Structure 1
Amino acid sequence: MAKPSGSRVALLGFGTVGQAVARILCSGEVPQVQLTHIFNRNVDAKRVDWVPASVRWTDVVEDILASDADIVVELVGGLHPAYEWVRSALLAGKSVVTANKQLMAHYGTELLDLARAQGREVRFEASVAGGIPVLRALQEGLAGDRLVEVRGILNGTCNYILSRMQADAVSFGDALAEAQKAGYAEADPTEDLDGADAAAKLAIIAAVGLRRPVRVTDIATRSIRPIEPVDFEYARQLGCTIRQIARASVEDSGAVFAAVRPALVPLSSGFGQNAGSQNLVTVRGVFGGETSFSGHGAGGSPTAVAVVSDVLSVRRAAGEAAPPSEPTPFHIVSGDFVAPHYVRFTVNDKPGILAQVTAAYARYGINIEGVLQLPKFRKDRLPFVTTLEECSESVLDRALAEVAQSDFHVQAPLSLPIFA
């Protein structure tokens, strides 16, 4: 395929990001790329006068698939029908650029294999931390290293909520309401709060950076919902704060670890200092050590810049033969943390509680490092904390399930790993 003098682009979706992409393509700043088609449901309500008259508007996706566009930019989001449309575009001989993290987390390996078979491209920089070119950095800037670990704050909603709870001791519910009012959280924030959003991004980074494709459904997740202001008080006594951390690593045995968890991190660390809706990604290589990337994780304009950059990358790659490849296998994933842990109990205080807790720990071979108890709380709802030496999360869960059978609990224990 000869390198074209100008690439023709069709947009699937004209929401916040789609409009921002169209503005860049219509600005004259990228004359080598021409916007030719815009698809959106209820397209007449979406028309704007700043898009050139030469651009065709449609609400029929088949118009896009049958068009002369070289590149389809998918910005409709979700799994379906985005998957079917992207697959059809590749089969129609078009390259694809997408900002759809769920699509790439669930179907990315299949779509990349199909693109190679068709001699086309799928680019997806904007699907992870839209304002940070982290995937390009992993593929190009760090290509000479063998990356073995990635840790990241990949969800701006959770980071905003936890930052507010840390700064002003507001409740989880109040911090969530603030995030929704500020536009950082959706009306239904389930995917953000419970880790599914970060898990999708982690799956993409693991495939690109660690070269270990994993099924997003195999990534263990835990919610930030049980965290309370008191946890930040206790964390501060330990020189820490709390963040939602997505972590994937390749162990010496070759096993792949991947999980998304709220965790204690040192206040002085990059993760502890990362506040508001900012994203932060740190990767560790065998030869180059640690490298970090930070910036806005989402938003119309930053994501649009990443999308247009991918469009230009596809154009530059036109004419290059894709190497043949076998279907890419998935790797088996473990999500069992081995780390020091923080465990907060909330109890109706009476003699012998600590003895029962320590006895349960002992039965499972778990060593206590310390006990923390602030004096200001009511006895009938008393929070106290045990910090533990390194232990397996699965073993700790079994010990806590046993302790939870006792009648002194006011609510379930909360366990969080402690990261250095």
Structure 2
Amino acid sequence: MVKIAIMGFGVVGSGVWEVLTKNAASIAKRAGDEIGIKYILDIRDFPDHPAKNLIIKDFDKILNDDEVSIVVETIGGLEPAYTYTKKLLEKGKHVVTSNKELVAKHGPELLRIAKEKNINYFFEAGVGGGIPIIRPLQNCLAGNQITEIAGILNGTTNYILTQMSKYSLSFEEALKQAQEKGYAERNPSNDVDGHDACRKIAILSSIAYSHYVNYVNIYTEGISKVTKEDMEYAEELGCTIKLIAMSKKLDSTTVFARVSPLMILQKSPFANVDDVFNAILVKGDAIGDVMFYGQGAGKLPTASAVVGDIIDIVKHIDKSYVYTWGISGDIKVLNIDETTCRFFVRVKYKDLSKAKDAVSIIFNDCMIVNTHKPIGENEFAFVTHEMKEREFKEKISQLEKLPAIEKVLSIIRYDENI
């Protein structure tokens, strides 16, 4: 029997216990050995839980017990998860995690330690929850040169945008509903400000391009400024708005990466990915386009991915599986000002005729949005041609200074090709 420990007994940790307990027989057959949970580390007590006798509060018990060969880290956050994980790897114990923040920040270092100790640091559940994506990128698509990745990587924001689009809710109303359903935290900034999706696209890009893409260098914009009026304009344009995380390998030294709301056509494969579902599109030179779709979060879907990693380690308990980005160094992320895009812009005017003339002059070849119904008061919208972000900022600055324009209400990137 292979003995394991679980650190952190929250939603995901308790889900791992549940899956391992409920499916013990079938998991043993797939793994080639029985898997037994020896410890569950948590600062809380669980007096009514069936696993209450496994609960401990002393990390050193896990660290110093030679019987425990695999440890599941579902604590979340950077500390004490980083310190514990590093000590466990240095001690020669395999570690499986769902902690995308830790992987995005310290992945290269932890992977190097795992390689040196001939053990494994696996994190399939760190991106996409129950959607298998890490292993397919590293194994099934290994024969490809991956050129581009794009996806809806956060279920909370996708749920909010779905409610805004389908039911004309405001951002605040949709967020409150998401919190009531348990999809959003009381402090939802990690999701709605785009940080969660940023870490995930950084991890996926690092694996796909075999170099560390540092998430702090990725331009990240959340959804809190998206309004129901923006959604109405999107509908008039045959579009919808999604939070899209994307990256593209430009050459051997540089990648483009960005997380932001994006206005996309209704025919886009992402347009009908609704509620808490995620979707990830991978482009390879040999395979073409491959789409991964499913529930990106939740107790059991995420636990399923964790258990999959545990099984993989048990099947190859003496083998170290190395992710190449842990040893291949960093790759440059192109500055957002140097990237190109089209932009949807809403403006509030003082003089409609002069405002439209000014927009046409400043944004040459722009498309004024003609709507079938009035949206807002004293406003109109337009879509620019493709231009560099730096150029767009300069033109918007010019527009805002004109007396015919009261203010710019919204700016959302627009892409007909994704």
Normalised to the residue count of structure 1, the TM-score between the two structures is 0.91
Alignment partner, residue 340 of structure 1 = 342
1:352 is paired with a residue whose SS is: helix
Contact 1:195 1:260 in 2 (8 A): yes
Alignment partner, residue 319 of structure 2 = 320
- Superposed CA offset, 1:16-60 (max 9, x none): 111111122223233421111110002xx224553385xx42111
Deviation at 1:210, TM superposition (A): 2.7
1:281 is paired with a residue whose SS is: strand
1:26 counterpart (6, 21, 32) = 21
Contact 2:164 2:174 in 1 (8 A): yes
Alignment partner, residue 189 of structure 1 = 188
Alignment partner, residue 11 of structure 1 = 6
- Superposed CA offset, 1:275-294 (max 9, x none): 11100000000111000000
- Inter-CA distance 197–419: structure 2 relative to 1 (3 Å threshold): farther
- Inter-CA distance 150–204: structure 2 relative to 1 (3 Å threshold): same
Q: Work out the CA distance in 2 between the residues paired with 1:220 and 1:21.
A: 34
- Inter-CA distance 316–375: structure 2 relative to 1 (3 Å threshold): closer
Deviation at 1:145, TM superposition (A): 1.1
Contact 2:253 2:331 in 1 (8 A): no
1:389 is paired with a residue whose SS is: coil
- Inter-CA distance 97–143: structure 2 relative to 1 (3 Å threshold): same
Superposed, 1:261-280 pairs within 5 Å as 261-280=260-279
Alignment partner, residue 51 of structure 2 = 51
Alignment partner, residue 405 of structure 1 = 401
RMSD: 2.2
- Superposed CA offset, 1:86-121 (max 9, x none): 001101111100000100011111111111011110
Q: Would you say 1:129 and 2:128 are equivalent positions? A: yes
Q: Work out the CA distance in 2 between the residues paired with 1:419 and 1:61.
A: 51
Alignment partner, residue 38 of structure 1 = 40
Letter in 1 for 2:349: V
- Superposed CA offset, 1:163-195 (max 9, x none): 111111111111111111111111111111111
Contact 2:114 2:320 in 1 (8 A): no
Q: Which runs of 5+ in 2 are unaligned?
A: 29-33
Deviation at 1:339, TM superposition (A): 2.5
Letter in 2 for 1:278: F
Superposed, 1:151-170 pairs within 5 Å as 151-170=150-169
Q: Would you say 1:385 and 2:381 are equivalent positions? A: yes
- Superposed CA offset, 1:220-239 (max 9, x none): 01121121122222222222
Contact 2:342 2:384 in 1 (8 A): yes
2:270 is paired with a residue whose SS is: helix
Alignment partner, residue 353 of structure 1 = 355
Superposed, 1:19-418 pairs within 5 Å as 19-27=14-22, 28-29=24-25, 30-31=27-28, 32-42=34-44, 45-51=45-51, 56-68=54-66, 69-252=68-251, 254-320=253-319, 327-336=327-336, 337-361=339-363, 367-374=364-371, 377=374, 381-407=377-403, 408-418=405-415
Contact 1:151 1:248 in 2 (8 A): yes
Letter in 2 for 1:57: I
Q: Work out the CA distance in 2 between the residues paired with 1:321 and 1:296.
A: 29
Same amino acid, percent of matched pairs: 33
Letter in 2 for 1:394: R
Letter in 2 for 1:24: V
Letter in 1 for 2:163: R
Letter in 1 for 2:241: I
Letter in 1 for 2:9: F
Deviation at 1:317, TM superposition (A): 2.5
- Superposed CA offset, 1:298-325 (max 9, x none): 1110111110110111122222256798
Deviation at 1:14, TM superposition (A): 0.7
Normalised to the residue count of structure 2, the TM-score between the two structures is 0.91
Contact 2:236 2:371 in 1 (8 A): no
Contact 2:120 2:320 in 1 (8 A): no
- Inter-CA distance 49–263: structure 2 relative to 1 (3 Å threshold): closer
Letter in 2 for 1:86: T
Contact 1:340 1:388 in 2 (8 A): yes
- Inter-CA distance 359–18: structure 2 relative to 1 (3 Å threshold): same
Q: Work out the CA distance in 2 between the residues paired with 1:340 and 1:52.
A: 56
Q: Work out the CA distance in 1 between the residues paired with 2:323 and 2:226.
A: 48
Aligned length: 405
Q: Work out the CA distance in 2 between the residues paired with 1:61 and 1:340.
A: 52
Q: Work out the CA distance in 2 between the residues paired with 1:321 and 1:183.
A: 38
Q: Work out the CA distance in 2 between the residues paired with 1:128 and 1:243.
A: 18
Q: Work out the CA distance in 2 between the residues paired with 1:416 and 1:345.
A: 15
Contact 2:262 2:415 in 1 (8 A): yes
Deviation at 1:139, TM superposition (A): 1.3
Letter in 1 for 2:355: I
Deviation at 1:342, TM superposition (A): 1.6
- Superposed CA offset, 1:183-209 (max 9, x none): 111111111111111000001101112
Q: Work out the CA distance in 2 between the residues paired with 1:225 and 1:158.
A: 9
Alignment partner, residue 3 of structure 1 = none
- Superposed CA offset, 1:103-154 (max 9, x none): 0011111111111011110000001111101111111221111111000000
1:298 is paired with a residue whose SS is: coil
Letter in 2 for 1:272: A
1:268 is paired with a residue whose SS is: coil
Q: Work out the CA distance in 2 between the residues paired with 1:335 and 1:181.
A: 38
Alignment partner, residue 364 of structure 1 = none
Contact 1:12 1:75 in 2 (8 A): yes
1:318 is paired with a residue whose SS is: coil
